[in-house]
Amino acid sequence: MSFLFGAPHRYHQGPGKLDELGPVIAHCGPAPLIVADAFVLDLLGDRIRASCAAAGLSPQIRAFAGEITYPAIDALIAGLGGQIPSVAVGVGGGKALDAAKAVALKLGLPAVTVPTIASNDSPTSASIAMYDENHTMIAVDRLHRSPEVVLVDSALIARAPVRFLLAGIGDALSKKFEVDGCASGTGITPFGTRPGLTGIAIADACYRTLRAHAVAGVAAARRGEVTADLEAVIEATLLMSGLGFENGGLSLAHSLTRGLVKARGAASAPHGDHISWGLLVQLAAEEREEAFLRDLLGFYREIGLPASLPELGMDQPEAAEIAAIARGTMTAPHLKNLARPVDEAAIIAAIIRIEALAGGRDV
Ligand SMILES: [Zn+2]
């Protein structure tokens, strides 16, 4: 069996790391493009400029707002006035990071990501989610090289609203089970190969780290404090989760988002919240024992992850709405990444089982 393992060239994490941005990207060249959310620039622009100046860099700094569309990326590049940067650096939430990655792909530059929240697995990955003007995802483009540097300032993550971290934990928790599904089925990873043992091991470590540290880590985040538990949660949520899915593949939990993004009330819930619920449904579809599901549900309740459709925003889901989620799910390419195939009826049954378990009532 052949496979491919991919990862960022360097991953830095710790409190105050933002002040090292200039030195850690200096080897990429003297003229970085820095793309950041406007409010992030307001908060952190001075520190970004100071660290670049200390390393002798002359950055072009641009605020990015709006959706990641091909015209928006073209406009961002046109605004550089013909000065081709040495590296594209994204600072902020998912959109700023994807904007920097998209510029890097288009101009053939290295990409650097500086996530200021830990709400999903994308900062370490080569994936770029592209949208149209109606906020519909139209493609997942891929960098030819994984990010050159990922720089995570854990003090910024600790101060961000905790709902972002919870979404990131939801996106990370599922990876062990999705990777196992991909490995035992016939699926391939985003790199286009079967999963290797390293990806499987990282996804397993991601789950074990979160079960061991998330209760204390989330409590620290609620206090805005950086602790060893929170550092462990951040590493699992950003590094292990990203390496796990890229080198291990995705499965039913992520397939369910195909239905959820069109579901009444639940559509606008964060991706990671979709995956929290999606993991429970995947485990139910795999016919896991009741005690196993109840144990995981207890963990969800302890840290505050959503476990039912009403908790995602869909009050009193109707049978037709659950069937529509299952129908959307059946269109996902990851669906064959399971030990045993599922059909629409099996997904509906799994959703109903989880709704009854998490809500304590029949639907
Ligand atoms: Zn995800």
Residue 17, both tokens: 């790391």
| 246 CA to centre of ligand 1 in angstroms | 11
CA–CA distance, 111 with 239 (Å, rounded to integer): 16
**Residue 177 placed within a domain:** yes
Domain that holds residue 112: 10-159
**Residue 2 placed within a domain:** no
Judge if 135 and 271 occupy the same domain: no
Burial 124-155 (b: 16+ CB within 10 A, else e): bbbbbbbbeeeeeeeeebbbebbbbbbbbbbb
| 271 CA to centre of ligand 1 in angstroms | 6
The domain boundary, picked from 159, 189, 221, lies at 159
**Residue 85 placed within a domain:** yes
**Residue 5 placed within a domain:** no
**How many domains does the chain fold into?**
2
Judge if 185 and 271 occupy the same domain: yes
| 250 CA to centre of ligand 1 in angstroms | 9
Judge if 283 and 309 occupy the same domain: yes
CA–CA distance, 28 with 136 (Å, rounded to integer): 34
How remote is the C-alpha of 358 from its chain's centroid? 24
| 312 CA to centre of ligand 1 in angstroms | 16
| Residues, Cβ < 5 Å to ion ligand 1 | 171
Among candidates 237, 224, 219, which has minimal Cα distance to 169? 237
Q: What pLDDT does 96 receive?
A: 96
**Residue 111 placed within a domain:** yes
| 272 CA to centre of ligand 1 in angstroms | 6
Give residues with Cβ within 8 angstroms of 183, minimum separation 6.
194, 195, 200, 248, 249
Judge if 152 and 178 occupy the same domain: no
| 121 CA to centre of ligand 1 in angstroms | 6
Judge if 234 and 128 occupy the same domain: no
Name the stretches of the chain with pLDDT < 70: 360-363
**Residue 28 placed within a domain:** yes
CA–CA distance, 16 with 160 (Å, rounded to integer): 14
3-state secondary structure of 29: coil
| 254 CA to centre of ligand 1 in angstroms | 6
Residue 60, both tokens: 């072009």
Judge if 52 and 186 occupy the same domain: no
Judge if 224 and 354 occupy the same domain: yes
- What DSSP assignment string belongs to 239-301? IIHHHHHHHH---HHHHTHHHHTTSTTTTTS-HHHHHHHHHHHHHHHTT--HHHHHHHHHHHH
| 122 CA to centre of ligand 1 in angstroms | 8
Give the domain CATH number at 74: 3.40.50.1970
Judge if 198 and 309 occupy the same domain: yes
Judge if 122 and 250 occupy the same domain: no
State the burial class of residue 67 (Cβ atoms within 10 Å of its Cβ: 0-12, 13-18, 19+). Answer: middle
| 37 CA to centre of ligand 1 in angstroms | 21
The alpha carbons of the chain give a radius of gyration, in whole angstroms, of 20
Among candidates 326, 321, 176, 334, which has minimal Cα distance to 255? 334
The domain boundary, picked from 159, 182, 210, lies at 159
Q: What pLDDT does 316 receive?
A: 94
Give the domain CATH number at 192: 1.20.1090.10
Q: What pLDDT does 360 receive?
A: 54
Q: What pLDDT does 363 receive?
A: 47
CA–CA distance, 129 with 151 (Å, rounded to integer): 20
The domain boundary, picked from 159, 184, 217, lies at 159
Judge if 51 and 145 occupy the same domain: yes
Q: What pLDDT does 136 receive?
A: 84
**Residue 105 placed within a domain:** yes
**Residue 248 placed within a domain:** yes
Judge if 211 and 303 occupy the same domain: yes
Judge if 249 and 346 occupy the same domain: yes
Residue 115, both tokens: 């996530």
